[in-house]
Amino acid sequence: MALEVQFEKRLAAYNLNVAFSCDADPLAVLGPSGAGKSMTLRCIAGLERPDRGRIVLDGRVLFDSSRGINLPSRERRIGLLFQHYALFPHLTVAENISFGLDSLPTVERDARVKRQIAQAHLAGFENRSPRELSGGEQQRVALVRALAIEPQALLLDEPLSALDTHLRSQIERQLIDTLATFRRPALFVTHNMEEAYRIATNLVVLTKGRVAAHGPKEEIFRHPPSLEVAQLTGLKNSSRARQISTNTVEALDWNCILRTHQSISSPPKYLGIRAHYVDFLEAASCVSSGANVFPCWLVRSSETPFRITLYLRLHNPPDGTGEHHLQAELFKEKWLRIREHPQPWHIQFSPESLMVLPE
Amino acid sequence: MPLDLSPIWISLETSLTATAITLVIGVAAAIWRANRRGVGPALLDSIFLLPLVLPPTVVGFLLLLIFGRNGPLGRLLSHFGATVVFSWPATVIAAAVVSFPLMYLSVRAALEQVDAHLLQAARTLGASEWRVFRRVALPLAWPGILAGTILAFARALGEFGATLMLAGSIPGRTQTIPIAIYFAVESNDLHQAVAWSLIDIFISLAMIAGTYYWTHLQNPARPRWTRASESRR
């Protein structure tokens, strides 16, 4: 059970050039809009033709430019869930689901549609028109329709983006369950890194048509290979860096010398630290003894119901330009304690949470 | 003098036949055009649309050149012992040619309006191109195709100039209602002109009523919509 993808396609803005594979564990294709995510899915589904390359599903060659093979969509047996679902507006829910089953005998087709409808908790909706359904119900019908043909692989194009926020977590839960029982290659495209992390096992990070990272999600979030990938995984603080010794680095934009945990193999280009890892020292005793401790001043802040983001300036009080060096994110409880202390506050970059980025 | 009713049947038969021909050719041309870009198809487009902008007499004159005794098609047909000019088929050809652009434009617009994602979804579900067309594109484009058919029929029914050039006015054979009206007025027979005009108005009204009935009760997209709004709570 594997989908192997490797192709190039010339697009107006850049060349799409991707290579990755997907087994029975769900794979998220993460990237900013316009990175070529949807185009990649469309090429796999056979709706677009790559210029060069090879796409193989379970040993079945779907596309191979060197051998002149390009199976049409209808022969690929790949389920595709469109971003806006693409339900047939002139057909009922049941007719939509049975659309791909016309080669089956009527009795078997009806039985399968009935079973699918029951499984997806859509009983009672059979004769409704798609436009009478809520967004979540439409998504479910589209997913059931794609799964009804018993596809060898499933592709989902931003499956949750068209839903209201309050529905999203519930539908996401159902999607995770569906993918868990599918047990065949499943790819889903998203620009939301938290969604990607929750749903997928493995990640492909796509930027400007290139695979910037490919691997298990934990690995990519912990050790992003580049600044670009780190930022896509939510990194807010980065600085250009210059190596001093095997475990000390100068952060040029922050104007400080930092000890790192990893001993550095290749020369670092950037240093990064996630906003929630920026640590505030409350006891004065730690300030003199700890490593990587620096004074900082508050430039401005931004609140959500339970958390606060502080924009901080290192070494000197704010100069009135509003420029900050770092963002720190913390729970309100801690913030209430910290603001009792006079500035400068002291923050620590713990060596374990510093990211050393070679590019 | 009792009215010779043959122009009614000639008009109806001509218009229906011409509309059936333009429907088939118009849909085929629109499908062909839908998947093509470039200068060639665009040039062909302007030829398709020419009968809409040319005066009907010019269209009729050109048809006369093509189908006449020395025209390319006329000579070909005379080999088989057939002449088109001043025959009933000539009324059909004239009506079909002038009504074709309306059909072609309507069908093309209707097909272009169908969301491409729906066609692609059908393909990923294993549907052949024919099935994609018959089950998805055609039903969704149907209201537009129907509108084109009505327009084409109305244009064919009212056709005068090209018909007179190519088919002449032979009572009982090529004389349609508009031509009968023209010659009635010319020979100062106002009673007959009024009678034919009233009949034409009646046919037109019946046609409008018929399509209204059809689009509201037969069109597959509509009744479901009305049922939908009723069944909601």
* Cα gap A22→A153, rounded to integer Å: 10
Token look-up 């692609």 returns B120
Regions of chain A short of the pLDDT cut 50? none
Contact check, Cβ <8 Å, B124/A90: no
Q: Is B228 on the interface with A (CB under 8 A)?
A: yes
Sign of the dihedral defined by the CA atoms of residues A266, A268, A272, A273, in that order: positive
Q: How far is CA B66 from CA B74, B75, B84, in A?
A: 6, 9, 10
Residues of B in contact with A47 (CB under 8 A): 120, 123-124
Give me the pLDDT at residue B224, please. 45
d(CA A127, CA A84): 21
CA distance B121 to chain A (A): 7
Is residue B52 a contact partner of residue B102, using CB atoms and an 8 Å limit? yes
- Percent of chain B clearing pLDDT 70 (strictly above): 91
How far is residue A343's CA from residue A296's CA, in Å, rounded to a whole number? 8
Q: Write down the mean pLDDT value for chain B.
A: 87
Residues in chain B: 233
Q: What angle do CA B61, B67, B73 make, to 5 degrees?
A: 140
CB contact at 8 A, A107 and A114: no
Contact B91, B174 (CB under 8 A): yes
Are A57 and A259 in contact, with CB atoms under 8 Å apart? no
Q: Letter for the amino acid at A109?
A: R
Question: Is residue A192 within 8 Å of A163, Cβ to Cβ?
Answer: no
Among candidates A74, A76, A132 on the partner chain, residue whose Cβ is nearest the Cβ of B127: A74
| Residue of A86, A100, A129 with shortest CB distance to B126 | A100
Q: Using the 8-state DSSP alphabet, how is residue B133 labeled? A: I
Asked if B124 lies within 8 A of A73 by C-beta distance, the reply is yes
CA-based angle A143:A145:A146, to the nearest 5? 65
Q: What is the pTM assigned to this prediction? A: 0.80
What pLDDT is stored for residue B231 in this prediction? Answer: 40
Q: Which chain B residues have a beta carbon less than 8 Å from that of A99? A: 122, 125, 127, 135
Q: Which residues of chain B lie closer than 8 angstroms to A129, CB-CB?
A: 224-225, 228
pLDDT class for B229, splitting at 50, 70, 90? very low
- What is the rounded CA–CA span in Å between residue A185 and residue A152? 7
Confidence band of B54 (pLDDT split at 50, 70, 90): very high
Contact B121 A84 (CB under 8 A): no
On whether the CB atoms of residues A11 and A39 are closer than 8 A, the answer is yes
Question: Does B32 contact A at CB distance below 8 Å?
Answer: no
- Give the nearest chain B residue to A86 (CA atoms): B118
pLDDT, tens only, A45-67: 999 999 999 999 998 999 999 99
Establish if B37 touches chain A: CB-CB under 8 angstroms: no
In what helix (H) or strand (E) does residue B67 lie, and over which residues does it extend? helix B56-67
SS3 content of chain A, % helix, strand, coil (to 5): 30, 30, 35
Mutate: best of B35, B119, B125, B133, partner A, most A CBs <10 A: B125
Q: B176 CA to chain A: closest CA distance, Å?
A: 40
Q: What share of chain B is helix, strand, coil (3-state, %, to 5)?
A: 80, 0, 20
Report pLDDT digits (tens) over B162-217.
Answer: 999 999 899 989 999 999 999 999 999 999 999 999 999 999 898 888 887 877 76
Measuring CA to CA, how many Å separate B197 from each of A312, B15, B182, B194, B201? 87, 17, 10, 5, 6
Under 8 Å between Cβ of A296 and A349: no
For residue A255, give every residue at least 6 positions away whose Cβ sits within 8 Å of its Cβ, in sequence order, or none. A314, A315
Test A90 with B126 for CB contact under 8 angstroms. no
Residue A271 is predicted with a pLDDT of 85
Contact yes or no for B120 and A73 at CB 8 A: yes
- Residue B1 binned pLDDT confidence (cut-offs 50, 70, 90): low
Determine contact, residues B162/B56, Cβ cutoff 8 Å.
yes
pLDDT at B217: 67
**Is the CB of B191 inside 8 Å of chain A's CB atoms?**
no
Please tell me if residue B232 touches chain A, with a CB cutoff of 8 Å: yes
Q: Which of B124, B225, B232 is most worth mutating to test chain A (most A CB atoms within 10 A of its CB)?
A: B124
pLDDT the model gives residue A288: 61
Answer yes or no: do B221 and A72 touch at CB < 8 A.
Answer: no
Q: Supply the angle between the helices B138-157 and B6-34 in degrees, to the nearest 10.
A: 140
Q: Which of A95, A132, A134, A150 to mutate to test the interface with B (most CBs of B within 10 A)?
A: A132
Task: Please indicate whether, in this complex, the C-beta atoms of A89 and B140 are within 8 angstroms of each other.
Answer: yes
Closest CA to A155 of A22, A53, A51, A8: A22
Tokens of B128: 């052949």
Contact assignment for A99 to B123 by CB distance below 8 Å:
no
ipTM of the complex: 0.81
Inform me whether the pLDDT recorded for B12 exceeds 90.
Answer: yes
Each residue's pLDDT tens digit, B109-124 = 999 999 999 999 999 9
The proportion of chain A whose per-residue pLDDT surpasses 70, expressed as a percent, equals 97
Q: What is the DSSP letter of A263?
A: P
Asked if the Cβ–Cβ distance from A80 to B124 is below 8 Å, we say: yes
* pLDDT reported for residue B226: 42
* pLDDT score, position A286: 58
Torsion region of B86: left, alpha or beta (phi above 0 gives left; psi -120 to 50 gives alpha): left
**Beta-strand relationship, A345-348 and A279-281:** antiparallel
**Looking at residue A86, what is its pLDDT?**
93
Alpha-carbon distance B44 to nearest alpha carbon in chain A (angstroms): 27
* CB atoms inside a 10 Å sphere around CB B80: 6
Q: A21: buried, middle or exposed (CB in 10 Å: 19+, 13-18, 0-12)?
A: middle
Phi, psi of A59, rounded to the nearest 5 degrees: 80, -10
Residues from chain B that touch A46, judged by Cβ atoms under 8 A, are: 123-124
In A, which residues are within 8 Å of B126 by CB distance? 74-75, 77, 100, 103, 149
B223 pLDDT more than 50: no
Restricting to B residues 198-227, those with a Cβ less than 8 Å away from any Cβ of A are 220-221, 224-225
Over residues B44-64, the mean pLDDT reads 92
pLDDT, position B166: 92
Helix (H, G, I), strand (E, B) or coil at A323: coil
